[in-house]
Structure 1
Amino acid sequence: MTLLWTRRAIADVQAIKQFIAKDSPHAAQLVTQRLVAVVDRLILFPQSGRIVPELADPQIREVVQGSYRIVYRLIEKQVHVLTVHHAARLFPIGQ
């Protein structure tokens, strides 16, 4: 299984890290490490996430880490990380 991060997902994680770092650089580092660790586990367990309820597409799944929804798409032998989205925010359907 191959893992690919989209530009959007990378930008999401960078924005999360920058936002948290305003209050605590250490906490920002920990949150980022945890997000990446959850994504790395998808290589071994790609179907471990649930189907995103808003989309109802079996290829688009999510795992939750803390307050964040990590949305990914399964394409053959690849995991494409699409976005890392704060769970309290409205999910961006169709973007």
Structure 2
Amino acid sequence: MTFRVELSQRAEADIKSAFAYIRKQGPADPRDWKAGLEQKLAGLETFPEACGLAPENEFVKVEIRQALYGPFRIVFTIREQIVYVLTVRHAARLALPRDELDKIN
């Protein structure tokens, strides 16, 4: 079974923000980081259920999973044949706040 991966507006903004931060702070090449992220996202097309549950999962009715990419968490939910990426955030950041999780239910 193949899934389609879709990014939320927030996930797109998160990626742009991380790219800009890496470009300014280094040491990695932001283009390499983004290419690796795109490869990781493409991997979600085949078996997203293999990824573990995200900490946020316990607060919502829908299932929320996460894939790790270096120090980043790709937080997503699966809706039929769509992997919907909610956010891409540094693992050191706190979990998604309750008000954002309420929008997912």
Give TM-score scaled by structure 1 length. Answer: 0.89
For 2:33, the equivalent position in structure 1 comes to 31
* Alpha-carbon displacement from aligned partner over 1:69-93 (angstroms, at most 9, x marks no partner): 0001101111001100100111123
Pick one of 66, 91, 95 that aligns with 2:95.
91
Pick one of 55, 60, 64 that aligns with 2:64.
60
* Alpha-carbon displacement from aligned partner over 1:8-64 (angstroms, at most 9, x marks no partner): 001100000001101349611111111111111000111121111232356210000
Identity fraction in percent: 32
Gaps of 5+ in 1: none
Cα RMSD (Å)? 1.7
**Alignment of structure 1 residues 1-95 onto 2, 5 Å:** 1-24=3-26, 27-56=29-58, 59-94=63-98, 95=100
Misfit runs of 4+, over 6 Å: none
Gaps of 5+ in 2: 101-105
Conservation of the 8 A alpha-carbon contact between 1:85 and 1:91:
no
Structure 1 CA distance for aligned equivalents of residues 22 and 6 of structure 2? 24
Which of the pair is proportionally richer in helix? 2
Give TM-score scaled by structure 2 length. Answer: 0.81
Across the two proteins, how many residue pairs are aligned to each other? Answer: 95
Structure 2 CA distance for aligned equivalents of residues 54 and 7 of structure 1? 19
Structure 2 CA distance for aligned equivalents of residues 43 and 77 of structure 1? 9
Conservation of the 8 A alpha-carbon contact between 2:57 and 2:63:
no
Q: 1:7 to 1:25 in 2, by over 3 A?
A: farther
